[in-house]
Structure 1
């Protein structure tokens, strides 16, 4: 399988689109990530700042992108680590400024050591500086240091910028709408991640440990080109499923329990975010099947409603309308159904949001237009989101019948808004009771 990737023209177009939203006679600075220390002299695997990556495709640490706009003429300038034979022996090859211009199609590139001098020239006589204010304290200090240097040149007739613009909202809004190339990458990482969930279902058995199932998932990611998981995998057997961000993944799986897996790979920086819940022994009990089918019915109803103009707030209403009467029927809620819907009483068991934007980050950037705690932004083509209803009944909840205790179910797919409606990108992972049991019985 040929892995999807993004051409340099994609990043050029993004920088041009960003520059169009900049006022004239300004300069913008976007900073890359630095290497993070794990312990003593060992580091975490490097993860590039996703907004920097979005505008450059450049995946080295401690870089800076400057975009200058003067007389409506735009110039992109990349500052990066210099070529250094000794450092490269220890830490790997660097692109260097000469190759950066060729490979990343920026107008100019400099060694990062030159940034103070070049930034002084870029800021001089500009009216505004754009950067991501408050994103990183060290970056804030760096910009203020450059500004102070420019102000020190006032006697030479040089004017300093008089205002700042936080450019993060501009980038966030751009990232919310996926191009055709981005969608292709996201389809592929969903397919790879779906294969990992299938593998987990097949590997599941009484006595296996959660971390062993996690290993199966990570193996499937890597063997199909997804070097990294997009986030720490949740592999939660039995009552552990009622811990939303459980990732100890250390418990032994027991026949008769459910296993909830929330896991997705990362490809070219883009995340999948998929959840499936299934029986350890391959066969749902009656109680498990009842709760599982209710969550699946709610998810199917919500996904079916996705189209331009609809909002997550409206989908959440649909989910509540599916959950509430059935929970009353099962004796898990009591009272008038309409009033319980109005009160959102099912949130006693449905304890998280219905979904979130998805892209370069798992919980991706983008304004939700929150009104009265409701996500009212209308969907538009090119948006990608998760749809993930869940119901949770902790083992120590003695207010409910014993048969429900310890059951936690979440089902999550990744959904693209299209011109006509939607496309479910998570297509190769079984989620009906019959399909899950059939796959697990095929081992």
Structure 2
């Protein structure tokens, strides 16, 4: 990686904004003692001249525009007369002057349609008008070649990160009015009790808004009340995502299709995987390559858990071997450029065939998944999906002699012994976040009514820890999870990931075919 060739002092000189403002240009984390950027006027004059005209083509509006506009209208209807501030967030430091890849906050993408190409530090403002809200997108457009930003600022300069779009181009692309981020100051300077912000998206901007509230409202109680109102905004945005429109469902289908290709890639590589001391890493790398080829990235850290690691629910170290005779549990999802993600789990026999005990456990988990899927339709309660899967899990582990009570007793609310072998829930909503709609109220989520257009996972499992003395020895160290992505239809449900083999027989045939 090239050395960062500018100092904080030099970069600050390019912005001209007050140092205390959260809308300021980012300050590069380089240090003056290693800056080698030429400072002569001759260099500045030479590097600022002799460039071809930039491409100023304004794109046609992207496909996400109608979906984003519908979400803006819905949140406007819920918050009449209130100014709504929805930041994209900003770069997060990984180490010294390097950052994690930027990913906009889901609420920002929901309301703008700006996905993997969103600019860090952008802010959407919905300003109340007489009959709703007027949306404006604030972001830092590209610097002119007459500024030293484009060559001397490694965080936002064109020489360092590539060209950034103009205000006009983004306005056409997203069908939104745009303004330079520096003009956000005018919005903040007129902050009043009607202003709400998505707090978690940009903590620095949120802190500035909180400070302005204290000064401008001069009332600590009012400030606390404003934070409660902020939470309501986040809640409402989550609840609006509980059902998906046709465009959003199409994006989820694309994410599932890319994920299916990633699983095929893994199966093809199983012989190589089994030869390496860190075979789990090979699985992770193979899937991540597919995610980058067919999408933006992985939607979450891939779980590649072989042998007893499969009993660790969120095993993401992925540093162990993948041995023939073991099972490998792979929980992975591709996030496409719109930022919608799949979330799918398959458990594979590394050698290509299940042992009798592995098959017994695997088919019990599939039975639970199929039972849960069979009841999905509009009108049921979301919690019924989990309860149905648990009836199968309890019955099977009782049959295998693992419970101190009967299955019927274990299923009582004050018992639940079967949950020792599956402590997680069976389903969660899915969309822009892998665990989407997390700020929705309980009455709308776990206790809510299932509606057409909802998308969620069904993912029962059984996990017999290698040191669990309550299970027969032949079961110990076996972990199985089967996870599919489900769309609720007007009359029932569709398994979006059904094309990825699920039955034990189909999994064995899949491995044999691709090897």
Match of 1:227? 296
- Provide the aligned C-alpha RMSD in A: 2.2
Q: 1:13 and 2:70 equivalent? A: yes
- Separation of aligned partners in 2, 1:383 and 1:103: 28
Please tell me whether the aligned partners of residues 120 and 149 of structure 1 are also in contact (alpha carbons under 8 angstroms).
no
CA pair 251-151 structure 1, distance change in 2 beyond 3 A:
closer
For each residue in 1:70-113, what CA deviation from the matched residue of structure 2 results, as whole angstroms up to 9, or x when unmatched? 22252111110132141122122222333332222223x22112
Does structure 1 residue 207 correspond to structure 2 residue 278?
no
Hey, what does 1:365 align to over in structure 2? Answer: 437
Are the structure 2 counterparts of residues 97 and 148 from structure 1 closer, same or farther at C-alpha, using a change threshold of 3 Å? farther
Q: Give the counterpart of 2:138 among 70, 76, 79.
A: 79
Aligned counterpart, 1:311: 381
2:499 to 420, 423, 428: 428
Superposition pairs of residues 84-163 of structure 1, within 5 angstroms? 84=143, 85=145, 86=150, 87-107=157-177, 109-121=178-190, 123=191, 128-133=194-199, 136-147=202-213
Query: Does the residue aligned with 2:124 lie in a helix, a strand or coil?
Result: strand
Residue 216 and residue 405 in structure 1: after superposition, are their counterparts in 2 closer, same or farther (change >3 A)? Answer: same
- What is residue 354 of structure 1 aligned with on the other side? 426
Q: How far apart, CA to CA, are the structure 1 residues paired with 2:512 and 2:261? A: 17
Decide whether the 8 Å contact of 1:230 with 1:266 is kept in 2.
yes
1:385-424 Cα offsets, whole Å, 9 max, x none, are: 0110011011111332110011000000000111111111
TM (normalized to structure 1)?
0.90
Structure 1 unpaired stretches of 5+: 153-159
Q: Where do residues 291-440 of structure 1 align in structure 2 (5 Å cutoff)?
A: 291-342=361-412, 343-366=415-438, 370=442, 375-440=446-511
Q: In the TM superposition, what is the alpha-carbon distance from 1:6 to its structure 2 partner?
A: 3.2
Q: Give the Cα separation in 2 of the matches to 1:270 and 1:173.
A: 16
**Matches of 2:240 and 2:398, distance apart in 1:** 43
The C-alpha deviation readout for 1:5-43, integer Å capped at 9, x for no partner, is 73322222221222122222x311111111111111211
User: Greater share of strand residues, 1 or 2?
Assistant: 1
* Alpha-carbon shift at residue 127 of structure 1 (Å): 5.6
Do residues 170 (structure 1) and 236 (structure 2) align? yes
Residues 234 and 261 in structure 1, CA contact (< 8 A), matched pair in contact too: yes
Partner of 2:260: 194
Higher deviation after alignment, 5-14 or 283-292: 5-14
CA distance, structure 2, for counterparts of residue 298 and residue 151 of structure 1: 55
The residue aligned with 1:156 is: none
Provide the secondary structure at the position in 2 that maps to 1:423: strand
Partner of 1:155: none
- Larger mean Cα displacement after TM superposition, 416-425 or 304-313: 304-313
User: Is 2:108 the partner of 1:52?
Assistant: yes
Secondary structure at the residue paired with 1:220?
A: helix
| Whole-angstrom distance in 2 between the partners of 1:6 and 1:410 | 35
Deviation at 1:161, TM superposition (A): 11
Q: Tell me, which stretches of 5 or more residues in structure 2 are unaligned?
A: 1-61, 151-156
TM-score, reference length from structure 2: 0.78
Aligned to 1:258: 327
Select 1:285's aligned residue among 355, 366, 370: 355
In structure 2, how many angstroms separate the alpha carbons of the residues matched to 1:76 and 1:370? 30
Note the C-alpha offset of 1:314: 1.2
Bigger shift: residues 375-384 or 336-345 = 336-345
SS in 2 for 1:386: strand
After superposition, the Cα gap between the structure-2 partners of 1:366 and 1:254, relative to the gap in structure 1 and judged at 3 Å, is: closer
Corresponding position: 1:30 with 2:30: no
- Indicate conservation of the 8 Å contact 1:129/1:163, yes or no: no
Larger Rg: 2
